[in-house]
Amino acid sequence: MKLEGTMKIGPEGHLWIGGCDTVALARRFGTPLFVYDEAYLRARIRAFHDAFATTGLRYEVAYAAKAFCALAMCQLVQEEGCALDVVSGGELYTALAAGFPPERIHMHGNNKTMAEIEYGIESGIGAFVVDNFTELEMVEEAAHRLGRTVDVLLRVAPGVEAHTHEFISTGQQDSKFGFDRATGQARQAMARVRELNHLRCIGLHAHIGSQIFETEGFIAAIERMAEVYEEGVRMGLPLAVLNVGGGFGIRYTDEDDPLPIRQYVEAIAGAVKSAFTARGLAIPAVWVEPGRSIAGPAGITLYTVGTQKVIPGVRNYVAVDGGMTDNPRYALYGAKYEAVLANRAHEAADEVWTVAGKCCESGDILIRDARLAPPRPGDILAVFGTGAYNYAMISHYNRIPHAAVVFVRDGKTALVVERETWADVARFDRPLRYEAEGETAAVGGAIR
Ligand SMILES: *Cc1c(COP(=O)(O)O)cnc(C)c1O
């Protein structure tokens, strides 16, 4: 167990975060509860800014909202000087409701609907990251209809795929995302965008993976992107931005050994400078899109321990009052986490327990073979590193209400997402009744 940010173990043996006793937080707000260390969130963002400041590059840190998107989070990342990446109308709505400046918002996604494209254009977002040929025509059509000119970046699949400690330089071609470089789609897209009167192609984008612990994948991708960029410049596109995506790794367990943020940024800056200088190109502004590396380590989840099942010689199961509904990452891809009994964090973690959720699904596991002190019903379990892609993926499976989210700082708490009730999960249900002839109930397709 490695305590990050402001986390510490108090004299009474409780886990503390942001100057708050997690046991008191669990009592006050209930469980499951997501708790974010506000100072650490801000520190993670500042690490990107500080690193870029020393490179002398023009840059932008765009927080990938999908990792954890809520009003308060949008406010915080704006205060810290970030731009924002959204991938849906719902994320865009949340950002705008938080007062995020639209010109600092970029919209991603491989299947933006026309409604989402129009919403983005009408809101005046800074750029669309166009993913495919269909979308190129859709954005042009919408921009034309709305009488606007729209800045776009083209998402390119550079043929580099990076995961954790490896990168595969021929990987990623078979992906639903982006214009493929190797087969010439990226070139075709650049040629096409040049013909479209309402689009201004200001940059190129590549995102090579997630939870990356090495810099080689970024360097290889930048080299290839510089080649595409050079072609674009020759075609006369007004390119000024190279967006290298996100994917910077974080520590979930002892098996993970992420680089300091500074090291990723220095490698990226160095690779951009050398690749663009070698081609005689002006150095572009460099945009990065961290999601997990900002939100992940700053969040924990608190659960209340419930039942146990000990199968002698096989496995010890302990169940908590959440599970795959608030953290589906083990079920999705075998993700690993560490945990501690937050009310007895000073006790030796010398037993092995598999932490299960309360859903009716055998795969509803949070941690396989966690090292814990002997758990008892009523204990508070804290799972570390749950700030990214946990609340963001929350579901209503088994009609379990969504958990609450609090930010903590200097001993103070801010409830930023309320807990749902049992009534909330049935809020949009209607009794079975067919429409009468000529009647159209107020349930049209409108989403805005
Ligand atoms: C998911 C995603 C990110 C963020 O990835 P992290 O691993 O959370 O940093 C950035 N850019 C794009 C295009 C993405 O799809």
| Predicted pLDDT at 122 | 98
For residue 360, indicate whether it is catalytic: yes
Q: What percent of the chain shows pLDDT beyond 90?
A: 93
pLDDT at 187: 98
Check pocket membership of 345 for ligand 1, CB cut-off 6 A.
Answer: no
What's the gap in Å between 364 CA and the centre of ligand 1?
Answer: 25
Would you call 348 exposed, middle or buried from its count of C-beta atoms within 10 A (0-12, 13-18, 19+)?
A: exposed
User: Could you tell me the distance, in angstroms and rounded to a whole number, from the CA of residue 21 to the centre of ligand 1?
Assistant: 32
Residue 22: other Cβ atoms inside 10 A? 26
Q: Strand, coil or helix: what is 436?
A: coil
**pLDDT, the chain, mean:** 96
Q: Per the annotation, does 289 bind a ligand?
A: yes
Q: Do residues 386 and 394 lie in contact, with contact meaning Cβ atoms separated by under 8 Å?
A: no
Mean pLDDT of the region 181-206 = 97
Summarize pLDDT for 94-107 with one digit per residue, the tens: 999 999 999 999 99
Looking at the predicted structure, is the pLDDT value of residue 351 above 70?
yes
pLDDT digit string, tens, across residues 128-150: 999 999 999 999 999 999 999 99
User: How is the chain split into domains, by residue range?
Assistant: 8-36+296-425, 38-294
Spatial contact of 55 and 283, defined as CB atoms under 8 Å apart: no
Do 38-294 and 8-36+296-425 have the same topology in CATH? no
CATH number for 38-294: choose from 3.40.1350.10, 3.20.20.10, 3.20.20.70, 3.40.190.10: 3.20.20.10
CA separation, residue 400 to residues 249, 270, 389 (Å): 31, 48, 18
Which ligand 1 atom is at minimum distance from the Cα of 205? 13
pLDDT in tens, 211-240: 999 999 999 999 999 999 999 999 999 999
Q: Which among 127, 258, 283 has a CA at the least distance from the CA of 193?
A: 127
To test the pocket of ligand 1, the residue of 45, 85, 106, 261 to mutate (highest count of ligand atoms within 8 Å of its CB) is 85
Instruction: State the amino acid at position 321 in one-letter form.
Output: D
Q: How much is the pLDDT for 180?
A: 96
Q: How far is the CA of 209 from the centre of ligand 1 (A)?
A: 7
Is residue 440 pLDDT above 90, yes or no?
Answer: no
Sign of the alpha-carbon torsion through 134, 135, 140, 141: positive
Residue 200: per-residue pLDDT: 98
pLDDT band at 442 (very low <50, low <70, confident <90, very high): low
Do residues 156 and 225 touch, judged by C-beta distance below 8 A?
Answer: yes
Could you tell me which residue, 330 or 441, shows the higher pLDDT? 330
Helix/strand/coil for 262:
helix
pLDDT of residue 169: 67
Residue 171 has pLDDT above 60, yes or no: no
Residue 129 CA, closest ligand 1 atom number: 13
Least confidently predicted of 348-357, 374-383, 432-441: 432-441
69, 74, 82, 360: which one is catalytic? 360
User: Distance from the CA of 387 to the center of ligand 1, in angstroms?
Assistant: 14
Which residues are within 8 A (CB) of 16 and not within 5 positions of it... i.e. 6 or more apart? Answer: 6, 7, 8, 9, 10, 22
Assign 444 a pLDDT band (cuts: 50, 70, 90).
low
- CA gap 280, 302 in Å, rounded: 53
Poorest-confidence range of 177-186, 287-296, 436-445? 436-445
Ligand 1 atom nearest residue 209's Cα: 7
Report the pLDDT averaged over residues 370-376: 98
Residue 115: in which H helix or E strand, if any?
Answer: helix 114-123
- Assign domain 8-36+296-425 to its CATH architecture: Beta Barrel (2.40)
Whether residue 154 contacts residue 191, with contact meaning beta carbons closer than 8 Å, is answered with no
C-beta of 297 in contact with ligand 1 (< 6 A): no
Instruction: Determine if ligand 1 sits within 6 Å of the CB of residue 91.
Output: no
